[in-house]
Amino acid sequence: MRKKQPILLLLLTLSHFMAFGQVTSFTLDPEKINKQLASKLDSLFQEDQGSRLKLSTLQKEKASEKQIDSLRASMRSKDSTNLIFAQELIDRYGWLGPEEVGFQGAQALFLVIQHANLNIQKKYYPLVLEAKKTEKYYRAMLLF
């Protein structure tokens, strides 16, 4: 299903290792974080990763194809909803880093784009590169 994405994922992975080596610590000012948006993105992160963990568990337990297909369909639907939200957010404010939405919020945005199709990833890749210059990307990637 994700066969179209290996090059982009490789680039993002390589960027992660570069980021990890360059930024080792920093302090966030909690007063500058948009708490309402961070909370929404934290929930999105938990739901996104929770469903993927559940899928992994079902696969390891050799659950029926019907169960697995049902969860995948649910994930695709939620991914589509999350993508609409993330695109509106990014298109309005640009790439948001941990300074604006906390670590998990920044990760949530990254994951939503990562789970999108290759055309969407290509659309936002320049923003990721630009954020990289301002260390937003590095900070977001520290936890990957």
Q: Where are the alpha helices (DSSP H) in 61-117?
A: 65-93, 98-114
Residue 144 reports pLDDT greater than 50: no
What is the pTM (predicted TM-score) of this model? 0.70
The confidence score (pLDDT) of residue 42 equals: 92
C-alpha to C-alpha distance for 101 and 34, rounded to whole angstroms: 6
How do the domains of the chain map onto residue ranges?
A: 34-44+79-141
Q: Which of 12 and 123 is assigned the larger pLDDT?
A: 123
Q: Which of 2 and 119 is assigned the larger pLDDT?
A: 119
95-112 tens-digit pLDDT: 888 888 888 888 899 899
Q: At what angle do helices 65-93 and 118-133 cross, to 10 degrees?
A: 50
Which residue in this structure is represented by tokens 């929770």?
50
Residue 20 reports pLDDT greater than 70: no
Give me the amino acid identity at 144.
F
The confidence score (pLDDT) of residue 26 equals: 53
pLDDT confidence bin for 136, thresholds 50/70/90: low
24-34 tens-digit pLDDT: 445 666 777 87
40-53 tens-digit pLDDT: 999 999 998 989 99
Taking alpha carbons only, the member of 109, 94, 117, 112 closest to residue 140 is 109
